[in-house]
């Protein structure tokens, strides 16, 4: 755990981008993809995939 969640939230709030979202995986810190790969993948499919493909997870093939 390298960055406290409240500090990451403040940074996120300051970032200006056309599309942005934030999600925390409890007990994962900077190593979410290794500590909780199932939750990390679920968030990537739910939040990132629709943005890059223009399709929702349910309609993606």
Q: pTM higher than 0.85 for the full model?
A: no
Q: How far is CA 52 from the centre of its chain?
A: 14
Instruction: Indicate whether 45 belongs to any domain.
Output: yes
Domain that holds residue 58: 30-61
Which residue blocks in the chain are alpha helix, DSSP H?
5-14, 32-35, 37-43, 49-53
Report whether 50 contacts 22 (CB < 8 A): no
Domain count, the chain: 1
Instruction: Indicate whether 25 belongs to any domain.
Output: no
5-54 confidence digits (pLDDT tens):
888 899 999 999 999 999 989 888 788 899 999 999 999 999 999 999 98
Instruction: Indicate whether 40 belongs to any domain.
Output: yes
Identify the residue whose tokens are 């599309």. Answer: 19
Q: How far is CA 8 from the centre of its chain?
A: 12
């Amino acid at each position: 755990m390298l960055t406290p969640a409240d500090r990451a939230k403040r940074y996120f709030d300051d970032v200006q981008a056309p599309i942005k979202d934030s999600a925390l995986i409890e007990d994962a810190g900077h190593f979410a993809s290794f500590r909780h790969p199932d939750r990390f993948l679920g968030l990537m499919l739910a939040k990132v995939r629709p943005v890059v493909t223009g399709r929702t997870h349910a309609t993606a093939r």
